[in-house]
């Protein structure tokens, strides 16, 4: 049944689009269909064929199901970038949703739900309503899912139109698949809100249990997952559910099995009869064991889910399965089976995969720590492994032996000699550090401890911090235990090294502490350094009980695979936010931290102007400096929050956002390009129209090629007075951007004057007063900013200073509680602004008075002040 | 708990998108690149080769098949087991359609691929994966058939695996009872794993909607019926049924009743742990290293089942050092081939009756120069493959297979038994 569709991928390069256009409008059906296939093929390989939108949509009205499906597929892909044209398709959709063929009815509803364009969504409601009550179950089941789609796009609409009610009615549908999909849709909608939308009642419970026996395997998973959230009323209820669910354990689909296990575990909490519980456990165990012989990927999920079974690694297991099995074997190890387990571990420790071997060696150590009685056997296995002299095995073994020593102090010191034989082979920091720890800890029993340590000391400066720290401590221990001449010299060397020739503060501080201790009171030093250490336990595989509970209710889902609660990785933006159908936006607000954090807490990597050297610090105290930094961070435009200049819908998928800012004394245009089209874009160029300040690019625009889905931020340096527009000043900045793939885009930006203020705008007080007087009062402009509220004069000053609006003086008026601020700023070359701000701290309303020689500029300044003060 | 996939990707081995279908609009095609970058970086680090990969809020579940990655991306806490299994089913469906799922077949059939993806999953929820039924309304040569089809009843029916109106001149059922034996013997000669996974594989060529009933020598059932179970009945540990079997009915009275799908399917699988049973074929290898340049193997293979059965196509794979040369092998039965690509000697015995013992002696040269670093040798186990027809380890027996259809035809059931080696591994004695 092989096809020959690959021919559609080979297309003539030039004039391809034009050719396709002609073929699409051909009167011959076959030619038309081939053309649509070519379009889809082009779409598949990532070419942008959105310009053919109208022509493709014209093919929509066809009797041919295959052609229709292809056109629909095209629509799903491009409707978003052509929302205005997508409306052309609506009529056909509505017509198709009433087609006599149920396949077409379902197809129309399904596709409409996938088109996330508001205009289409409005038209979706009526067909959806009809289809939810369609005679054909195939259409109903598709419509049920479609309600969830619609809810994702526009939740209110779903509630207003009463779709939720209809959906709930579908739970009682006669067809099991419709029930299953309705359950899936309801569960999804429930997930997004806190309102109780989907509650399983006695009545629905009965329906669900009935449908469970009849629907497809996937449907069974939906229903079981929903059932696992149902809280049974009493024991009988719970027993009833369990009884109906238990047969599912025999299903060949292991997703069904795992979900059934989940339901049973949930309900078991209520069941009091120990007999029943024991019986259930007996029934659940074998299916879980069988999962281990399923496909390796499934095994992995199963293993992450169960910790019940003893088994061993097979030679050909994929490594991720082996690792998981190892974990479980550690958990299962007990006095009874330890011999067998150790034998297995030993076997694994001689395998080829280095990571696995290490893990196996570590596993032996963990067993020793976990099972006191087995510790000796573990040690002997480790020693055997050390004798193999395989470098990484030895190193790993030493690391775990250190842990064993800590767990059982003064028990197994006899093996130290063996360990010491391997000193020369150690090259990994962790193993080295462990060995040094052992030497230091048992310095009194190792005759040549000082020689051994001295060997390490030679290379002290080159070691990693971890080893250095251990070495320092070990030397101190050695000295305290054997206060002879040799160690004394050593300690001198170490302390010198650690205090003077290192730039690691941890090491230096520790060395100083030891030094002080040793020089003041060696006895105290002994107490501190040689104190009893708390014993360690093997707790690396414990899960918090509460987490465990939550995970159990999430069996088979990703949460149980990650062993984390769902919230910690689920990034889906909740329904309310999702409504904005801009994909990029959704992608960005995923990171909960950055989207919820107040703006000022995000520090950008660019140097904050407040910290630029040579800038006079207005407020001397440290706190003020810090606040200044805060304030200036505010001014740093974050690439994330740049205003959008060209929206993705207007730019055929290219979105440009940007803002003029000042950075290190230079005006720059901070820009962000996001490509959400289907094709890679490259060869970006930028051009500015004449404008009041003559702003122009100082260097060519450097945007790397943008593959679909990528975004790039760029900083374009700007120069002033290059192409000054005559006429009255205004803040309009007209920009043109082009690339090799798309037409030229034109858009307007507003020049924010604060980006232009020079660093040399600061005036002496005296000079300010004189200038103020020399400028005639006709050049004074006053504006009230009623909505702006200043809460702290200091921070306001900091904020303004950060944009080179320099603070001159401040006056407080007692009776009116008004604060008066005087500031100056200068736009190069010499447009000076003198500003007076009057406000009552904590109440809204700021009065600005500006004196300037260029009166036309005053409105721009007011805008800037308003923007600055209200952030 | 509800959770759905956001998109399904089919990628080639270089991580390029062959076909992808966006189901929820919350991921983009660029996700494929990130996924691929993530597995690439994991290549060296074995632990991140998991089939579940998490990156920046998106979870990728993937399965590799031939030169294609089948992958879903999801932003929710979705049902991982269900989605991974779904991916396997998707592969099955594609295999049914294109014979083999690989880059070329996907490209050759991208139109159908899109159609199938549309039908198998909706809004990220698995919908329908019965290849038989799907191919009734999604056809590869669809442009030849201009009639607009309706969805087969089966898509939404309680019996979603079989369509009505199937016709055969000769009504036949083939039932193969296949048991595969998995054992693992550790280097001390101890049996650490031993179980049997059995499957009842059926091929049905039946007219209409036949009602089938299968009787096994299941101890629970026989005892419930009050029949004598002398020696013949067996205990099945863990039984799994194809979705066509009425599970509730089985739970009630242990009756296996079903309406079968058309064609081949696995009716039932079961498992039994047989700690007591001796390995059917026992292999022992003695290794002698003469100096550094020569190594000698003496391998003994013994069949430990009844004499009336015979194992066929026995293949014993004996692992060798990677640098072994100049093989010199003598066998008392069968032939041997040195397979350097597997670093093994393969000893093949066409027919191996029960209660027999065969020997193999082999000698290999080793390079005299040995690297300083004594990297431990890869310790592969001895692996054995075999088939024993007309024999089951469990002793399972099909007592009857009744087929009732309203047209009242007589159908012929054919039953076969066979035991094969599954993961049959014996670790070498350490030397």
| Structure letter (DSSP) for residue A744 | P
Q: In whole angstroms, give the CA distance from residue A743 to residue A745.
A: 6
Average pLDDT over residues A269-286: 72
Kindly list the residues from chain A whose CB atom is less than 8 angstroms away from the CB atom of residue B73. Answer: none
Higher pLDDT, residue A9 or B114: B114
> A147-151, A307-311, A432-436 — which is least confidently predicted?
A307-311
> Can you give the length of chain B in residues?
431
Facing residue for A187 by CB, picked from B2, B19, B97? B2
Cis peptide bond prior to B223, omega within 30° of 0 = no
Q: Which residue has the higher pLDDT, A2 or A128?
A: A128
Distances (CA, A) of A813 to A821, A839, A841: 11, 10, 12
Residue with tokens 């040799």: A486
Q: What is the pLDDT of residue B372?
A: 53
C-beta of residue A359 within 8 angstroms of C-beta of residue A326: yes
**Do B281-370+378-389 and B172-276+393-426 fall under one CATH topology?**
yes
Q: What is the structure's pLDDT at A564?
A: 60
Which is higher by pLDDT, A774 or A151?
A151
* Terminal Cα-to-Cα distance of chain A (whole angstroms): 65
Q: Do A587 and B50 touch (CB under 8 A)?
A: no
For residue B65, give how far its alpha carbon lies from the nearest alpha carbon of chain A (Å): 12
* pLDDT for the residue numbered A637: 39
The yes-or-no verdict on residue B368 having pLDDT over 80 is no
**Cα separation values, A233 from A198, A237, A239, Å:** 17, 6, 11
**C-alpha distances out from residue A863 to A458, A659, A783, A787, A867, Å:** 67, 15, 10, 13, 6
Alpha-carbon span B222 to B122, nearest angstrom: 45
pLDDT of residue A1 exceeding 50, the answer is no
Residues with Cβ within 8 Å of A388's Cβ and at least 6 positions away in sequence, in order, are: A350, A394, B376
Is residue A25 classed as helix, strand or coil in its secondary structure?
A: coil
C-alpha distance from B292 to closest chain A C-alpha (Å): 18
CA–CA distance, A325 with A311 (Å, rounded to integer):
8
| CATH, domain B172-276+393-426, list 3.40.50.300, 3.20.20.140, 1.10.10.10, 2.60.40.1170 | 2.60.40.1170
Lowest mean pLDDT: which of A347-351, A792-796, A842-846?
Answer: A347-351
Q: Which residues are registered as beta bridge partners of A26? A: none
Task: Indicate the DSSP class of residue A233.
Answer: S
> A268: Cβ–Cβ under 8 A, 6 or more apart, which residues?
A238, A242, A277, A280
- A226, A244, A583 ranked by CB distance to B28: nearest: A583
Question: Residue B418 has what pLDDT?
Answer: 94
| pLDDT the model gives residue A455 | 75
Q: How far is B44 from chain A (nearest CA, A)?
A: 10
Q: Could you give the CA distance from residue A835 to residue B151 in angstroms, rounded to a whole number?
A: 76
Q: Out of A123-132, A568-577, A731-740, A793-802, give the one with best mean pLDDT.
A: A123-132
What pLDDT score was predicted for residue A309?
35
Closest CA to B157 of A141, A568, A91: A141
Q: Quick one: B190 exposed, middle or buried, by C-beta within 10 A (0-12, 13-18, 19+)?
A: exposed
Residue A392 contacts B, CB cutoff 8 Å: no
Contact criterion met (CB < 8 Å) for B111 and A1: no
Q: Measured between CB atoms, does A262 come within 8 Å of chain B?
A: no
Q: Where does the pLDDT of residue B256 fall: very low under 50, low under 70, confident under 90, or very high at 90 and above? A: very high
pLDDT band, very low/low/confident/very high, at A613 (cuts 50, 70, 90): very low
Ramachandran area for residue B10 (φ above 0: left; ψ -120 to 50: alpha; else beta):
beta
Under the banding of pLDDT at 50, 70 and 90, the label for residue B142 is very low
More confident of the two residues B127 and A772: B127
Q: Does the pLDDT of residue B359 top 80, yes or no?
A: yes
Q: Pick from A64, A142, A255: which is nearest to B79 by CB?
A: A255
Average pLDDT value for residue range A355-372: 78
CA distance B232 to A65: 57
Distance from CA of A450 to the nearest CA of B (A): 30
| pLDDT score, position B201 | 94
Instruction: Please write the tens of the pLDDT for every residue from B220-237.
Output: 888 777 776 566 778 777
At B55-84, the pLDDT tens digits run: 777 888 888 888 888 898 888 777 777 888
Which carries the bigger pLDDT value, residue B313 or residue A821? B313
What share of chain B in percent tops pLDDT 90? 24
What is residue A30's predicted lDDT score, i.e. its pLDDT? 82
**∠ CA A573-A577-A148, rounded to 5°:** 70
Candidates A290, A310, A295; CA nearest to B271 is A290
pLDDT per position as a tens digit, B98-134:
888 888 888 888 888 888 898 899 888 888 888 888 8
| Residue A456 burial (C-beta neighbours within 10 Å; 0-12, 13-18, 19+) | buried
Interface residue A145 vs chain B (CB under 8 A): yes
pLDDT of residue A334: 66
Check if B209 contacts A (Cβ < 8 Å).
Answer: no
User: Does the pLDDT of residue A480 top 50, yes or no?
Assistant: yes
> Residue B292 half-sphere exposure, CB side, CA atoms within 13 Å?
5
User: How big is the CA angle at A188 (ends A184 and A191), to the nearest 5 degrees?
Assistant: 140
Measured CA to CA, the distance from residue A83 to residue A649 in angstroms comes to 8
The average pLDDT across A284-306 equals 59
- Joined together, the tokens standing for residue A199 give 């509650």
Which residues touch A546 (CB under 8 Å, ≥6 apart)? none
Any CB–CB contact under 8 A between B431 and chain A? no
For B281-370+378-389, which CATH superfamily applies?
A: Mu homology domain, subdomain B (2.60.40.1170)
Residue B386's pLDDT is 94
What count of other Cβ atoms lies within 10 Å of the Cβ of residue A296? 14
Distance CA B242, CA B246 (A): 9
| Confidence (pLDDT) at A318 | 61
> B 340-399 residues with CB below 8 A of A?
373-376, 378-381
Contact (Cβ atoms closer than 8 angstroms) between residue A15 and residue A47: no
Q: Which two tokens stand for residue A507?
A: 């090491």
* Tally of CB atoms within 10 A around A427: 10
Q: What percent of chain A is predicted at pLDDT more than 90? A: 0
**What was the pLDDT predicted at B316?**
94
Predicted confidence at residue B383, as pLDDT, reads 92
Q: Is the pLDDT of residue B361 over 90?
A: yes
- Please state which of the ranges A43-52, A113-122, A270-279, B316-325 shows the lowest mean pLDDT: A270-279
List of residues 6+ apart from A841 with CB closer than 8 A = A790, A791, A792, A793, A817, A819
pLDDT for position A697: 83
Residue from the list B88, B114, B239 with its beta carbon closest to the beta carbon of A73 = B114
Selection from A307-316, A344-353, A731-740 with the highest mean pLDDT = A731-740
Query: Token digits for A713?
Result: 């931020």
Tens digits of residue pLDDT in A89-98: 888 888 888 8
What is the enclosing helix (H) or strand (E) of A348? helix A338-349
CA distances from B308 to A476, B302, B350 (A): 77, 15, 16
The strand order across the sheet containing A732-738 reads A685-688, A732-738, A745-750
Res. B387: pLDDT tops 90: yes
Contact A40 B24 (CB under 8 A): no
Class of domain B7-154: alpha beta
Averaged pLDDT for residues A518-545: 62
Structure-block tokens of residue A858: 């005053």
Decide: residue B56, CB within 10 A, 0-12 exposed, 13-18 middle, 19+ buried.
exposed
Q: Give the confidence band of A77 by pLDDT, cuts at 50, 70, 90.
A: confident
**pLDDT score of B302:** 93
Taking a C-beta distance cutoff of 8 angstroms, is the pair A403, A436 a contact? no
Interface contact A325, partner B, CB < 8 A:
no
Confidence band, pLDDT 50/70/90 cuts, at residue B258? very high
**Pairing outcome for strands B412-426 and B172-185:** parallel
* Gap between the Cα atoms of A673 and A652, Å rounded: 13
pLDDT at A571: 47
- Tokens matching residue A328: 């479980």
Mean pLDDT, to the nearest integer, of A811-837?
Answer: 80
- At residue A583 the predicted structure's pLDDT band, cuts being 50, 70 and 90, is very low
Average pLDDT, chain A: 74
d(CA A690, CA A721): 9
d(CA A209, CA A232): 14
pLDDT, position B313: 93
Question: What is the number of CB-based contacts under 8 A between chain A and chain B?
Answer: 347
| Whether residue A165 has pLDDT greater than 80 | yes
Give every strand in the sheet of B281-290, ordered side by side.
B281-290, B294-303, B357-365, B325-331
Q: For the residues A322-341, what does the mean pLDDT come to?
A: 68
Give the start-to-end residue ranges of the domains of chain B: 7-154, 172-276+393-426, 281-370+378-389
In chain B, which residues have their Cβ closer than 8 Å to the Cβ of A351?
376, 378-379
Distance CA(A788)–CA(A866), nearest Å, equals 7
Cα(A175)–Cα(A324) distance, integer angstroms = 41
Contact between B289 and B298 (Cβ < 8 Å): no
Give tens-digit pLDDT for A103-147.
888 888 888 888 888 777 888 888 888 899 988 888 999 999 999
Alpha carbon distance A179, A226 (integer Å): 12
Q: What is the mean pLDDT of chain B?
A: 83
B243: DSSP letter: T
Structure tokens at A274: 């120990």
Is A2's CB within 8 Å of B86's CB?
Answer: no
Chain A residues near residue B25 by CB distance under 8 angstroms: 80, 114, 116, 581, 583
Give the count of alpha carbons within 13 A of A406, CB side only. 20
DSSP string covering A808-826, please?
Answer: EEEEEETTTTEEEEEEEEE
Q: What pLDDT score does A598 carry?
A: 37
Mutation for testing the A interface, residue in B80, B108, B377, B384 having most A CBs under 10 Å: B80
Q: How confident is the model at residue A562 (pLDDT cuts 50, 70, 90)?
A: low
User: Other CB atoms closer than 10 Å to residue A829's CB: what's the count?
Assistant: 8
Q: What percent of chain A has pLDDT over 70?
A: 78
Confidence check: pLDDT of A329 > 90: no
> What pLDDT score was predicted for residue B143?
41
The token pair that represents A391 in the structure block:
């470098």
pLDDT: which is higher, A424 or A744: A744
């Amino acid at each position: 049944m092989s096809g020959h569709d690959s021919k559609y991928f080979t297309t003539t390069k030039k004039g391809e689009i034009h050719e396709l256009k002609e073929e699409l409008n051909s009167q011959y059906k076959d030619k038309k269909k081939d053309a649509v296939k070519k379009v889809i093929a082009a779409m598949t390989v990532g070419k942008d064929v959105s310009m053919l939108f109208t022509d493709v949509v014209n093919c929509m009205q066809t009797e041919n199901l295959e052609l229709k499906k292809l056109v629909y597929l095209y629509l799903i892909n491009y409707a978003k970038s052509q929302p205005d044209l997508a409306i052309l398709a609506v009529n056909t959709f509505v017509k198709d949703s009433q087609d006599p063929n149920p396949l077409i009815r379902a197809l129309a509803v399904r596709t409409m739900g996938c088109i996330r364009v508001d205009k289409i969504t409005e038209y979706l409601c009526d067909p959806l309503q009809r289809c939810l009550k369609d005679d054909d179950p195939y259409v109903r089941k598709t419509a049920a899912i479609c309600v969830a789609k619609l809810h994702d796009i526009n939740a209110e609409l779903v509630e207003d139109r009463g779709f939720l009610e209809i959906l709930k009615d579908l739970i009682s549908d006669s067809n099991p698949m419709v029930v299953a999909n309705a359950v899936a849709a309801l569960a999804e909608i429930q997930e997004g809100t806190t309102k109780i939308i989907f509650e399983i009642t006695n009545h629905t419970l009965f329906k669900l249990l009935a449908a469970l026996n009849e629907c497809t395997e996937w449907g069974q998973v939906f229903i079981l997952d929903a059932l696992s959230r149902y809280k049974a009323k009493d024991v009988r209820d719970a027993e009833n559910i369990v009884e109906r669910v238990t047969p599912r354990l025999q299903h060949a689909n292991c997703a069904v099995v795992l979900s059934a296990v989940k339901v049973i575990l949930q309900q078991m909490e209520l069941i009091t009869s120990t007999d029943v519980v024991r019986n259930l456990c007996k029934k659940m165990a074998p299916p879980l064991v069988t999962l281990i012989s399923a496909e390796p990927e499934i095994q992995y999920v199963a293993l992450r889910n169960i910790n019940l079974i003893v088994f061993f690694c097979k030679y050909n297991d994929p490594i991720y399965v082996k690792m998981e099995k190892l974990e479980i074997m550690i958990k299962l190890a007990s006095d009874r089976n330890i011999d067998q387990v150790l034998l297995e571990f030993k076997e694994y420790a001689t395998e080829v995969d280095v990571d696995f071997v290490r893990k196996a060696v570590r596993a032996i150590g963990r067993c020793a720590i976990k099972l006191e009685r087995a510790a000796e056997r573990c040690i002997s296995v480790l020693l055997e492994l050390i004798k193999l002299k395989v470098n990484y095995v030895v190193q790993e073994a030493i690391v775990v032996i250190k842990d064993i020593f800590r767990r059982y102090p003064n028990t197994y010191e006899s093996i130290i000699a063996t360990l010491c034989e391997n000193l020369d082979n150690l090259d990994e920091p962790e193993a080295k550090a462990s060995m040094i720890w052992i030497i230091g800890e048992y310095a009194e029993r190792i005759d040549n401890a000082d020689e051994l340590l001295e060997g390490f000391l030679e290379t002290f400066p080159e070691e990693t911090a971890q080893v250095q720290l251990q070495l320092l401590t070990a030397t101190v221990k050695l000295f305290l235990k054997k206060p002879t001449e040799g160690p004394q010299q050593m300690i001198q060397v170490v302390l010198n090294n650690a205090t003077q020739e290192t730039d690691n503060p941890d090491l230096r501080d520790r060395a100083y502490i030891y030094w002080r201790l040793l020089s003041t009171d060696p006895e105290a030093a002994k107490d501190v350094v040689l104190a009893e250490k708390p014993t360690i336990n093997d707790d690396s595989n414990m899960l918090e009980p509460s987490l465990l509970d939550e995970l159990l209710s999430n069996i088979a889902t990703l949460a149980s695979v990650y062993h984390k609660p769902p919230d910690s990785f689920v990034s889906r933006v909740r329904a309310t936010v999702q409504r904005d159908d801009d994909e990029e936006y959704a992608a960005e607000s995923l990171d909960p931290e950055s989207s919820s954090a107040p703006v000022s807490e995000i520090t950008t990597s660019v140097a904050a102007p407040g910290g630029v050297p040579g800038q006079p610090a207005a407020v001397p105290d440290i706190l003020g400096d810090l606040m200044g930094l805060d304030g200036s961070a505010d001014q740093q435009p974050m690439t994330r929050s740049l205003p959008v200049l060209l929206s993705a819908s207007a730019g055929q998928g290219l979105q440009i956002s940007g803002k003029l800012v000042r950075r290190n004394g230079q005006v720059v245009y901070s820009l962000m390009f996001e490509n959400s089209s289907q094709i890679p874009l490259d060869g970006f160029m930028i051009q500015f129209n004449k404008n009041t300040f003559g702003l122009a690019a100082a260097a060519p625009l450097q945007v790397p090629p943008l593959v679909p889905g990528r975004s790039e931020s760029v900083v374009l340096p700007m120069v002033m007075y290059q192409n000054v527009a005559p006429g009255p000043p205004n803040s309009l900045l007209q920009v043109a951007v082009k690339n090799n793939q798309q037409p030229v885009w034109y858009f307007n930006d507003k020049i924010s004057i604060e980006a232009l203020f020079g660093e040399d705008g600061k005036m002496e007080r005296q000079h300010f007063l004189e200038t103020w007087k020399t400028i005639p009062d006709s050049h004074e402009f006053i504006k009230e900013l009623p909505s702006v509220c200043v809460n702290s004069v200091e921070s306001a000053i900091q904020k303004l200073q950060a944009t080179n609006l320099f603070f001159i003086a401040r006056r407080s008026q007692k009776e009116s509680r008004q604060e008066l601020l005087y500031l100056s700023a200068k736009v190069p070359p010499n447009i000076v602004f003198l500003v007076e701000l009057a406000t009552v701290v904590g109440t809204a309303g700021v009065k600005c008075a500006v004196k300037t020689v260029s009166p036309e500029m005053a409105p721009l300044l007011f805008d800037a002040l308003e923007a600055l003060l209200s952030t | 708990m509800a959770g759905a996939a956001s998109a399904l990707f089919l990628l080639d081995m270089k991580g390029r998108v062959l076909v992808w279908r966006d189901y929820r609009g919350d991921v983009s095609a660029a996700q494929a690149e990130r996924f691929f970058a993530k597995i690439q970086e994991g290549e060296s680090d074995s632990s991140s080769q998991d089939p579940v990969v998490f990156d920046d809020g998106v979870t990728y579940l993937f399965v590799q098949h031939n030169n294609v990655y089948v992958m879903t991306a999801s932003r929710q806490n979705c049902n991982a087991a269900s989605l991974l299994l779904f991916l396997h089913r998707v592969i099955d469906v594609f295999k049914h359609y294109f014979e083999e799922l690989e880059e070329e077949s996907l490209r050759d059939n991208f139109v159908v691929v899109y159609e199938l993806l549309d039908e198998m999953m909706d809004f990220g929820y698995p919908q329908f994966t019965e290849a038989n039924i799907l191919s009734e309304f999604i056809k590869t040569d669809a442009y030849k058939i201009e009639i607009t089809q309706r969805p087969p009843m089966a898509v939404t029916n309680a019996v979603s695996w079989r369509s009505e109106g199937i016709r055969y001149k000769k009504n036949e059922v083939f039932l193969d009872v296949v048991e595969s034996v998995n054992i693992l013997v550790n280097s001390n000669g101890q049996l650490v794993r031993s179980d049997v996974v059995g499957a009842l594989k059926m091929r049905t060529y039946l007219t209409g909607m036949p009602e089938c009933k299968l009787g096994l020598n299941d101890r629970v059932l026989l005892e419930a019926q009050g029949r004598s179970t002398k020696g013949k009945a067996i205990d099945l540990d863990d039984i799994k049924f194809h979705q066509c079997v009425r599970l509730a009915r089985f739970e009630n009275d242990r009756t296996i009743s079903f309406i079968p799908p058309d064609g081949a399917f696995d009716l039932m699988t079961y498992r039994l742990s047989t700690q007591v049973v001796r390995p059917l074929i026992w292999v022992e290898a003695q290794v002698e290293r003469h100096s550094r340049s020569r190594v000698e193997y003496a391998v003994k293979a013994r069949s430990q089942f009844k004499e009336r059965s015979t194992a066929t196509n026995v293949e014993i794979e004996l692992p060798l050092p990677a640098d072994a040369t100049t093989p010199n092998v003598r066998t008392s039965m069968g032939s041997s081939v040195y397979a350097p690509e597997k670093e093994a000697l393969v000893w093949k015995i066409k027919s191996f009756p029960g209660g027999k013992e065969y020997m193999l002696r082999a000698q290999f040269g080793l390079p005299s120069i040995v690297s300083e670093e004594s990297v431990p040798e890869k310790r592969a186990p001895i692996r054995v493959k075999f088939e024993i027809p007309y024999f089951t380890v469990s002793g399972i027996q099909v007592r009857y297979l009744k087929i009732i259809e309203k047209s009242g035809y007589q159908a012929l059931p054919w039953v076969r038994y066979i035991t094969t080696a599954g993961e049959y591994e014996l670790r070498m004695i350490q030397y």
